[in-house]
Structure 1
Amino acid sequence: METVYQSMRQQGLVRPAQGRVLGGVCAGLGRRFGIDPWPARLLFILILLLIPGSQILVYPILWIIMPAEPVTASKWATTTD
């Protein structure tokens, strides 16, 4: 499974740490193909509506297969007054 994660990371298919609605799959696909997250979500839904029954399978499979974006320390750094 690690080789799948590595190949997805090399191609830029990762679930972002920020901007997720559910699992970050559509946001990651949108980022990869240069589309904003909301139009990517709408396009994903429209495509899934064309293929009956695929909604139940495609999103969870992509959620499992797409690796999460590595979280860096700067994203979690907070400033104190």
Structure 2
Amino acid sequence: MSIDLAELRKLSVAERIQLAEDLWDSIALEPTDVPGLTDAQRQELQRRLREHESDPSTAVPWEQVRAELMSRMGPR
């Protein structure tokens, strides 16, 4: 597969961010193909999952996180 990076650079920053999100989402749909985690990473993920399950109210929706990040970037 060949991707023309010059064409990708023509996209706006917002469009490239959306593309990166879409690519990541497509990777997440195939977890068996994702490189393995170290034992320490797996343990940390399990710890974070248990913490979230014990108090789900601490989670922040992605839309809110993204909006805050975009507002920090300011106009470009």
Q: Is TM-score (shorter-chain normalized) higher than 0.5?
A: no
Answer 1 or 2: which has greater helix percent.
2
Using the size of structure 2 for normalisation, the TM-score is 0.29
Larger Rg: 2
Provide TM-score, normalisation by structure 1.
0.28
